[in-house]
Structure 1
Amino acid sequence: MARFADAHEIRSTFLRFYEERGHAVVPSSPLVPFDDPTLLFVNAGMVQFKDVFTGRDKRDYSRATSAQRCLRAGGKHNDLDNVGFTPRHHTLFEMLGNFSFGDYFKADAIRWAWTLLTEVLEIPASRLVVSVFNGEGEDAPFDQEAFDLWAEIIPRERIYAFDAKENFWQMGDTGPCGPCSEIHIFLEGDEAPPDAGKPKMGPAFEDRRYMELWNLVFMQYEKLASGEMNRLPAPSVDTGAGLERLAAVLEGARSNYETSLFRPIVDRAKSLAGVSGDQGEHEASFRVIADHARAAAFLIADGVTPEQSGRPYVLRRIMRRAIRHGSLVGLDELFFHKVCDEVVQRFSDAYPELLEAREAIEGAVRIEEEGFRRTLNRGLRRVSKIIEGLDEGASEFPVDEAADLYTSAGFPVDLTRVIAEENDLRLDEAAVAERLEALKGDAGFAGVGAKVSDVYFEIAKRLGKGSEFLGYEVDEGEGTLLAIVVPGEGEGEDAAELVEIQEAGVGQRVELIFDRTPFYAESGGQAGDTGEIRFAHSDQGPGSDARLRVEDTRKPTGGLHVHVATVEQGAIRVGDRFALRVEAARRDAIRRNHSATHLLHHALRAELGKHVTQKGSLVAPERLRFDFSHGGPLTREETREIEARVNAMIVANAPSGTAQMSLPEAKEAGAIGLFGEKYGDQVRVVTIGGDSVELCGGTHVRRAGDIGLFKIIAEGGVAQGVRRIEAVTGLGALRWVQDTAAVLEDVGAELHARDQADVMVRLGKLQEELADKRREVDSLKRKLTTGGAAAGKGDEVVEVSGVKLIARRVPVADPKIMREAADTLRDRMGSGVVVLAGERDGKANLLVAATKDLAGKTVHAGKLAAALITHVDGRGGGRPDMAQAGGPKVAGLDELIAAAPASLQAQLG
C-alpha cells in the first residue's frame, strides 16, 4: 500500500484525484445544517448538496468532491455511548466523497473508485470485495449494470448481492433514491475468500472479517408517494468514504484511534496525565477524550456553544463526557481546552476556521470545564451516597433522586444514568423528565444548571421570590439583608462548598442577598455592578458601623441578586438594614456601552441585512463586544457606514424608552429577541435612538446622545458564520481617536511625510522597494539551488543503470524554490532524476523529481523519496513525477544524498 506522511495527505490525495478529473473541490459545510430543520447536525457528505440533487438549487459545476466534517451524537444517529470503546465509533468523522449532478454515472464512478483505491492508494485488489443491490425490498430491479461493470474488474465470486437494507439508498420516504455499491476490505489476510455465493457469509452478515471502505450511491429513481419508482431524467452519483477508516487501512492500524488522525491527540491527553503507552482498561478514556476534543473544537468553530437544550446540549454532553473520563485517568486540573487546542493545531491546515475560532474554542471549553468540575465533584459524591443507601438487590436508581440531582446541583440526568448502569442499576430517564416538568411548576423556575450551588437553590426555595431590582431608576437605595453565604470551612473538596451563616466580620469575603437592591446582576452580557454597602439601621439591637466593598453582582437562580463583597469595617448580620450604593461612574460607562450595542445591532441589520442576529455580547465599563451572524469579513466601507449610522443616531439624541408588554405585542412592535433567551409572559422592550427596539433586561442611557461617541476598534471572525465587533464609547472613544492620531503623527515624522495623505504615498514606495528586494533574494536562492557558486558537494551528474541522477545538498530548502530548481534541472538533463535535500527551520527537507519519460514507468519519485527520507527519520512519498518529504534528523542529510544512487539502483532493479 502507498505510504503517506499522515492522514491529512490521504485527504488531499483524494481531493486532488477527483479535481484532476474535472471535479470542483467544495469546502466542507459547517456541522450545523443551513435551513434544514430535519437534521440535528450534518451527518453525511451529501447534506450540503441535498437541494442540488432535488433540483431546488443550481451550481456552476456538475461534478464535485469534498471532505465533509460530520457528527453523529444525537437523534437517530447516536453512537455516543460506544465512542472510545470500539475501534471505529466516533462522534465527529470526515467523509470523503465525489458527486455527479446529472453528469457521469455508474461506469465512471466505479472505475475511478477502483483506480483510486488500488492504483493511487495501492490497496491490494485481492483484499477488496464489493456488493450490489439484489432487487429485494424495493420496487426496483437487480442492479445488473453495476454487477456487469464490477465483473469486468474483479472475480464474480467477490461480488455480493444484498437487499434494500444494505444496498438501496433513499433521501426520505419519497424523492431521489437508488441502488448502492459498497466496497469492503478483508481484514484477516492478503486475499478475500470467495464467499459471495455462500449463504449468511460476507460483509452484510455481521462478518467482522470485513470493513466497509466506500459506498457508491447511484440515484436513478424518484420514489412517489404511491410507492412507484420513476426513472430520473438525469441520474446522479453520491459517494462516501470515511477518512478515519482509510487511514487505519493505509497506516496498518488495528483501530482508528491508532492513526495519525487520533494518535497525537490521544498522546497529548496522556502527556497531560503524565502517562504514556497503552493504558489497559483506561485506554478507552483517553480515546473518548481525543474523539470528543475533535467534536467540541469543530462544533464551537461552527458557532455552537454549550447550553441546556438542542444542539448546544449535545455539545455539552460531549464535553462533560470527556471531562468525566479525564477525572477517571487522573486529569484533576483543567485539561480539556489544551486537548482541544491540539485539535486546532493538527487540523487547521485543512480547516482554517479552527484557527480563526481558536480563542473562542479555548474560552468556551475552559468555562464549561470549570463549571462542570464543581458540578461533577458534588454530584459524584451524592450519587455514591444514594447508591450506597439502596436496599440490597435493588435494580432501579430512584427517579426523584435523579431529578433532584439535576435541579439542585445541575448534575446531568444522562450522566446519572451512565453511573447507574456502571453499578448494574437502571434509570428511567422518561420518568425523570416528567418529574422535572412537575418541579418546574412547583418551584416557579426551571432547573438551575451546572454553576448553581445547592445553598442558593435552598435559599431561593425558602424565600419564594427573587430580589426586587431598583436599578432602572436609581443608583442607590436600602435593603434588608436576607442571607449571608461564605465558602465552607471543611478540608479538601468540602472547602469549596458554599454555606449559609448569620453573621460576618472584618476581612471576610461574603456573598449577600437583600430583599431590594439597585445593583445590577451580571446577565445578558452586561457586567455586574460594583459599589459600596453601609449599615443603615437595625431592629435587632445596637447599631453597627459596618462598611463593605462590592466587587461583583451575580444572579445564580430564582431571581436572587448575589452581592460578592468584602467586609472592610464592622460586622454584619442577617435582618439588618443597609444602604446600597452603586459605583455611579462605572454604571454610566456600562450604560453607554450597552445602549451602543443596541444601536450597533440595528445598524448591522440595516447595512448587511436581516440575517444578522446577535450571537453573544460583553458589556463592560471600558469597552463593548458584539458577536453576530454573518458570512464574511466586513469591508472597510461597510465598517465606516455602520459606524456612521450609529453615530448619526447618537447625534439625533432621541430619548430612550422602556415598556412591559406580552411577547406577541413585542413582536408586533418589531422588537428583536436576543439569542438564547427564554421569555416569560411579560417582556421588557427597550427603545434606543428612536429606531432600535429590542427585548432587554439591562440598564441604558436616558437619551442616545448620552453615549457621546462610538468607535469600532476591531472586527474579526470567532466561528464559522460568526463575526465579532469590539468598540468603545464616550471618553474611551475619544482617547482611542487621540492615541491613533498620535501614532499617525509619529509615523508621518519617521517617513518625513508632508501630511496624512503623503504617509500612504511614502509607504507605497517602501513596499515597492521591499518587493524588489524580495525578488532579488528569490532569484539568488534559485541560482544557489540549481548550481550557483555555492552549489557544493555532489553537483555532478552520475548515471545509474543508464539513468542520469543529480543528487545534491542545497543551501536553500524552501519547498517552492526546490520545486522550481528541480524543474530547471530536469529541463537541463532532458531525461533523469533529481534529488535535492537541505535544512530549513531545523528540519530536513527532501524533494525527488523524475522527467516525464521516466515517471511511473522506470522511476517512481514517491517511492524513491520514501526510501531516502528514512535517513533523516522521516516519512513521506508522493506522485510518480515529484515527491516531497521531511524529517527531524538534519544530521542525516549527507547520508541521504550519499544513498541516492543505491536507492535508485534498487528501484531500477
Structure 2
Amino acid sequence: MEKKGINEIRQAFLEFFESKDHLVRPSFSLIPKDDNSLLLINSGMAPLKPFFAGTQVPPKNRMATSQKCIRTGDIENVGKTARHATFFEMLGNFSFGDYFKKEAIRWSWEFSLEHLKLPPERIWASIYEDDDEAFHLWRQEVGLPEERIVRLGKEDNFWEIGLGPCGPCSELYFDRGEKYGCGDAACKPGCECDRYVEYWNLVFTQFNKDEAGNYTPLPNPNIDTGMGLERVACMLQEVDSIFEIDGMRVILDNVCERSGVTYGENHQHDISIRIITDHIRSITFMISDGILPSNEGRGYVLRRLLRRAARHGKLLGLNQAFLYQLMDKVVEKFHSGYPELMEKQETIRKVILVEEDRFLETIHQGSEMLGDYIEMMKSEGQQVLSGSQAFRLYDTFGFPLDLTKEILEETGMTVDEPAFKAEMEQQKTRARNARSEAGAVGWKEDPLTVLTAVPQTSFVGYGSLAVSATVTALIQEGASVERGLAEKGTTMFVLLDQTPFYGEGGGQVGDQGVLKGAAFIGRVVDTRKGSGEVIYHVVEADQGQIAVGDTLQAIVTSERRADTARNHTATHLLHKALKHILGEHVQQAGSLVTPERLRFDFNHFEPMTAEELETVETIVNQQIQRSLPVQIMETSIEKARSLGAEALFDAKYGETVRVVKTGDFSLELCGGTHVNNSGEIGMLLILGESGIASGVRRIEAVTGTGAYRLFKQHQETLQTMASMLKTRHERLLPRLDEMIQESREKDQLIQKMKQEQMKDQQGDLLQNAVTIGQTAVVITSLEGQSMDALRELGDRIKEKAGSAAILLASHEEDKVHIMATLSKDLVEKGLHAGKLVKEVAAITGGGGGGRPDMAQAGGKKPDKIPEALSRAMEMIQQALA
C-alpha cells in the first residue's frame, strides 16, 4: 500500500473519475436545498436526490463529488469510541441512467489497485444473495476469486427506503489481518469482528418498489456509490482510529498542545480530546456554509456541538475561549479541498469566539448551580434531577438540557425529562396567554371563506395607480352580500376584477386610497391577500351605496405608495451592504416596509459596531447618490438563481418569478413595489440596530420623507438644547464637556466625604462589634451606600480586626445591597460567605453568591433588611458555637 494523506486521496479519486468522463462538482452545502426531509446533508447522494428521482435534469449523466456530511444521531458516542464522528467526507461517483454495474465494479477495482495501491489479495467483495450479475462481473470481469465474493441477505446488501427506486448493492472490504479477527476459521465479511473493514459501497438502483411490494425493473437504472474518505485514510495510513489520520491528528495534537494534556495517558481526558477534535471540524464547516448558532434547527445542532466542545475544553483545564483559535488548524488542513474555508476564515473565527464567550458565562453560573443540586442529591440519596430544577437551569442561565444530562451522566445520575418538557410547555402556554392578554394579533382568519366562489383579482398596480374596475364580491358583517349600505364608518371588504392596490405581502404593507363610484365613496384603509393570493380591500364607507357589478374608480394614494417604494428599494440596498460589510452569511430573516420606515431582520452572530453601522449607511447612500436604474424582469426560478439573485430559498416560488435589479449593486427576487431609480430614495438614515432572537439582528431605518422629518426633529432638538444651556449650536459640545467635568468634580468631592465618613464608621463598627470567642462579628445596615462602598468598608474592618465575620447591608432607592466577608481562619473552619449571602438575600427577595471569603447579593425589599440581618447573626453564631 502507498501511504496517502486525506487531500491526496480526495484529489486522486476526483481526478480518476474525471478521466472517466464524470463531471466533478465541488461539495454541495451542508444546508439541504429544496429538501425538507433533512436538517443537514448526511450522505453523498442526498443533494443529488432530484436527479435520481427524475424531478430535475442533472448537468451531466455522470458525476463525482467529495461531499461534506454531518450526522448527529450518535453524538453521545463521539469521543467515547475511536470511530464515531459527526463530520465526515463521502467520496462518490454517480450515474443517472448512463453506465451501470459493469463500469461501476470495474472502476472500483481499478481505483483500489492502481491509485490506492491496495494489495489485491486483501480485497473482498460482498453482493446481494440473488445478484448473479454482480457475481459474474466480480468473478469473470475483475478476476476476484470466488471464495472472496460473499453473498449477503437483504438486510446487508439491498438498498431501499420505503417505496420507489431501490436495488442491490455490492460492498468492497479490506482484510486488515488475523490480529484484528475473531479467530474463527470461517471469518469473512459479514462477521462482527474488526478484521474486514467495508470501505466502498456500490448501489445498483435498478428496481421500483410499488405499494403491492412488487419490484419492477427501471428503464434507466442508476449508480450511487459512497466511499468514506476517513476510513480509506485509516487503511492507507495503517492506523486503528480516525483520530490518528493526518486530517484529524493535526487538530488533536493542537488540542493537546493548548491544554498541556498528553493523549493516551488518561481515558477521560482522551474522550474530551476526541470530542473537541471532531466537533471543531463540524463547527468550522457548518459556519462556512452560513449556519449560525441558534435555539432551533441546524443552528441548534451547531450550538450544541460548540458548547459540548467548549465544556470538554474546561475539563482539560482550558478555562478561556480556545475553539476560535483551534479552527485555524481545520482551515489549514482542509482549505485545498474546500477553498471557502479560507475565504470565510475571519467570519468563522468571529462566530465561534462570540458563542464561546457567551457559553463560558453560561457554564460558569449554571455549573455552580448544578453542582449544588448534585451535592444535595447525593446527600439525600437521589439519582434523578427534578424537571423543575433542570428547567430553572435552562430558564435562568440558558443551560441546555443536553448539557445537564451529560454532566449528570458523568456522576451516574439522570434528569426527569418528561417533567422538564412539561415545564417548558407551561412556559409556552404562559407566553401565549400573555400575548393574548396584551392584545397581540394571532393568525388572521380569512374573511373570504364566506364566499361560495372566490373571484380572482388581476393586480395592475406595478404600472398604474388608478384604474376603472368592477366589483366582483362584497363582504359585510361577516356575510357575503350583493349590496352594501354605506353608512358613514361602515367597514366592508370589497373585491374587484382588477386593482392597482398592492395587497400586504413580502413584508410590504398594503396600499391605501379611495374607491369612487356614481353613488359611492369609500376609503381603502388597507389592502390584503386571502387564500390563493386573492386581493381584497378593507373599505371604510363615507357615503352612498355599493353593489356587486358596480363600476368604480380605484385610486391609490400616490404619496404613500411612493414613500413605501423608497423604503422597499432601500431595503434591498441595505441587504447587499450588510453582506459587503459583515459577510455572505447575512441572510434576510424578515422585513417590514411601511411608508414611514423600514425594518430589516437578518442572520448575524453579534451586535454590529458603531463603525459597521456607519459604513453600511454610507454604502447605501452612495448607491442612492449614483442614481442607479431599477429594472424589473420576470424569469424562471432557475434563471434567477443562475443570475445570482438573492432570495428566501426556503420560500415557495412559482415557475415564474419577479427579479428586481438595482444597477450593478443589488439583485433580488421580490414581488413588491419599487422606485424607478435609486436617486428617488433621497437618503437613508439608520435609526438603530438590536437583537431580536439568538443569531438574528434587526435594523430600523428611514428614507425620503421620513429621513427629512427625522433631520428636522434633530435640528429642533439641538435648538432647544442650545437655548436651555444658554449657548450657540457650535458651542453645544464644549458646554456639555464643561458640565460633565463639573459633575465629576462634585462626585469626587462627595466620594471623598463618604470615605472620611467611612473611616469614622469603621471605628464605630469595630467598637460595637459582637465578640464570639476570638472573632469580631459586625452585622449592620448603612444608609445610601453603594456595593463598592460596602466592599471597601468590609475590607478595612477585616484588616483591622484580624479574625472577623462581617455582613453589611444598604439600600439605594428600592435596591438592596448585601456584602459579606470572612477572615481566612473562619473560611478554614468551614464558613462560606457565598452561602451566607445567598440565604440572607432570599429574605429580601433577591439572590447572589460568591467566594468562600467574600460574596455579594442584591434584593428588592428594603423593609426586610432587619429580618435578613437577624438571620445572618443566627447563622454565624451557630457556625462559631
Normalised TM-score (structure 1): 0.52
Q: Give, as a single letter, the amino acid of the residue that structure 1 aligns with 2:311.
A: N
Report the CA distance between 1:831 and its aligned residue.
2.1
The 1:558–1:617 alpha-carbon spacing in structure 2 relative to 1, beyond 3 Å, is: same
Q: Choose 1 or 2 for highest CA Rg.
A: 2
Shift of 1:482: 1.2
Q: Distance in 2 between matches of 1:526 and 1:903?
A: 63
Q: Does 1:123 align with 2:376?
A: yes
Match for residue 761 of structure 2? 788
Q: CA deviation at 1:530?
A: 1.0
Structure-2 residue corresponding to 1:810: 782
Shift of 1:585: 1.6
From 503, 522, 531, the equivalent of 1:521 is 503
Equivalence map 1:302-451=2 (5 Å):
335-336=434-435, 366-367=440-441, 370-371=442-443, 451=445
Distance in 2, matches of 1:804 and 1:653, equals 78
Does residue 578 (structure 1) correspond to residue 552 (structure 2)? The answer is yes
Checking the alignment, whether the CA contact within 8 Å between 1:596 and 1:707 is kept in structure 2 is: yes
CA 1:902–1:614 in 2, change beyond 3 Å: closer, same or farther? Answer: closer
> What aligned pairs does 1:198-347 form with structure 2 within 5 A after superposition?
240-242=403-405, 287=423, 289-292=425-428, 335-336=434-435
The total of aligned residue pairs comes to 559
Shift of 1:657: 1.5
Q: Which residue of 1 aligns with 2:327?
A: none
Structure 1 residue 579: Cα displacement = 1.6
CA change 1:783–1:718 in 2 (3 A) is farther
Q: Paired residue for 1:100?
A: 313
**Offset at residue 73 of structure 1 (A):** 9.2
Conserved 8 A contact 1:455-1:500? no
What amino acid is the match of 1:606? H
What are the Cα deviations for residues 593-651 of structure 1, in whole angstroms up to 9, with x where unaligned?
A: 21221222222223333222222222111222222223333333333333332233223
Distance 1:645 1:35 in 2: 36
Residue 466 of structure 2 corresponds to residue 476 of structure 1:
yes
1:459 maps to 2:449: no
Give yes or no for the alignment of 1:600 onto 2:574. yes
Give the 5 Å matches for 1:750-769.
Answer: 750-751=724-725, 756=730, 758-769=731-742
* Contact 1:41 1:71 (C-alpha < 8 Å) held by counterparts: no
SS in 2 for 1:558: helix
| Larger relative helix fraction | 2
CA 1:527/1:892 → structure 2, altered by over 3 Å: closer, same or farther? closer
SS of match in other structure, 1:807: strand
Q: CA offset at residue 835 of structure 1? A: 2.2
3-state DSSP of counterpart to 1:335: helix
Distance across 2 between alignment mates of 1:42 and 1:70: 20
- Give distance in 2, aligned partners of 1:621 and 1:717: 23
In 1, the alpha carbon distance for the partners of 2:295 and 2:578 equals 35
Say whether the 8 Å CA contact 1:549–1:568 is kept in structure 2. Answer: yes
1:511 partnered with 2:764: no
Distance 2:732 2:668 in 1: 43
* SS state at 2:494 partner: strand
User: Structure 1: where are the runs of 5+ without partners?
Assistant: 1-31, 79-90, 106-112, 130-183, 188-207, 215-237, 263-283, 297-322, 324-333, 339-361, 372-449, 488-497, 536-543
1:704 and 2:840 correspond: no
1:697, CA displacement in angstroms? 0.9
Aligned equivalent of 1:846: 818
Any idea what SS the aligned residue of 2:475 has? strand
Q: 1:293 to 1:772 in 2, by over 3 A?
A: farther
Among 670, 675, 681, the alignment partner of 2:655 is 681
**Residues 213 and 241 of structure 1 are in contact (CA less than 8 Å); yes or no, is this contact kept in structure 2?**
no
> 1:343-368, CA deviations, whole angstroms, 9 ceiling, x for partnerless residues?
xxxxxxxxxxxxxxxxxxx99xx34x
What corresponds to 1:14 in structure 2? none
SS in 2 for 1:459: coil
Partner of 1:290, secondary structure, is helix
Match of 1:501 in 2: 481
Shift of 1:125: 4.3
Could you tell me how far 1:804 is from its partner in structure 2?
2.0
Return the offset for 1:511.
0.4
- 1:666 matches 2:640: yes
Letter in 2 for 1:706: E
* Structure 1 contact 481–515 (Cα < 8 Å) conserved: yes
What amino acid sits opposite 2:737 in the alignment?
A: G
What letter matches 2:434 in structure 1?
F
CA distance in 2 between counterparts of 1:786 and 1:242 reads 51
Q: Give ranges in structure 2 of 5+ residues lacking alignment.
A: 1-37, 43-68, 80-84, 89-242, 261-271, 277-291, 319-365, 394-400
Please name the residue that 2:701 is paired with.
727
Residue 904 of structure 1 corresponds to 876
SS at match of 1:606: helix
Describe the SS at the equivalent of 1:570: strand
Task: State the Cα distance separating 1:850 from its structure 2 match.
Answer: 0.9
The CA distance in 2 between the partners of 1:873 and 1:743, in whole Å, is 41
Distance in 1 between residues matched to 2:596 and 2:483, nearest whole Å? 35
Question: What SS is found at the alignment partner of 1:907?
Answer: helix
**Mapped partners of 1:618, 1:212: distance in 2:** 34
Native 8 Å contact 1:479 1:515 kept in 2: yes
Residue from 793, 798, 802 that aligns with 1:830: 802
CA distance, structure 1, for counterparts of residue 584 and residue 294 of structure 2? 29
Q: CA deviation at 1:809?
A: 2.2
Distance 1:125 1:885 in 2: 27
Specify the SS of the correspondent of 1:622.
coil
Q: Return the offset for 1:698.
A: 1.2
Match of 2:718 in 1: 744
Shift in alpha-carbon separation, 1:115–1:744, aligned structure 2, 3 A: closer
1:824 Cα shift? Answer: 1.8
For residues 103 and 872 of structure 1, do their structure 2 counterparts lie closer, same or farther at Cα, with a shift above 3 Å needed? closer
Matching residue's letter, 1:853:
D
Paired with 1:114 and 1:769, the residues of 2 have a C-alpha distance of 45
Per-residue CA distance 1:162-212 (angstroms, 9 max, x = gap): xxxxxxxxxxxxxxxxxxxxxx4599xxxxxxxxxxxxxxxxxxxx9xx99
> Identity, % of aligned pairs?
30
Measured after TM superposition, the shift of residue 471 of structure 1 is 0.6
Residue 516 of structure 2 is aligned with which of 518, 521, 534?
534
**Alignment-derived partner of residue 743 in structure 2:** 770
Q: Tell me, in whole angstroms, the C-alpha distance in 2 between the residues paired with 1:513 and 1:114.
A: 60
Q: CA deviation at 1:474?
A: 0.7
Query: How far apart are residue 834 of structure 1 and its match?
Result: 1.1
Residue type at the aligned position of 1:504: G
Distance 1:509 1:856 in 2: 78
How far does residue 33 in structure 1 lie from its aligned partner after superposition? 10
- Residue deviations 1:85-129, cap 9 Å, x none? xxxxxx9xx999831389479xxxxxxx99998889643646559
| 1:40–1:738 Cα change, 3 Å | farther
String of CA shifts for 1:533-582, please: whole Å, max 9, x gaps.
122xxxxxxxx512211111001211211100022222111122222111
**Distance (whole Å) between structure 2 residues aligned to residue 744 and residue 39 of structure 1:** 59
* 2:837–2:857 Cα contact (<8 Å) kept: yes
Structure 1 vs Structure 2 CA RMSD: 5.2
Q: Provide the rounded CA distance (Å) in 2 between the counterparts of 1:906 and 1:603.
A: 65
Instruction: Please tell me whether residue 565 in structure 1 is matched to residue 547 in structure 2.
Output: no
Task: Tell me the distance in 2 between the aligned counterparts of 1:186 and 1:477.
Answer: 68
- C-alpha change, 1:583 and 1:72, in structure 2 (3 Å) is closer
Match of 2:829?
857
> 1:875 touches 1:885 (CA, 8 Å); kept in 2?
yes
Give the partner amino acid of 1:475.
L
Contact 2:485 2:544 in 1 (8 A): yes
| One-letter amino acid matched to 1:796 | N
Cα distance, 1:867–1:500 mapped onto 2, change above 3 Å: closer
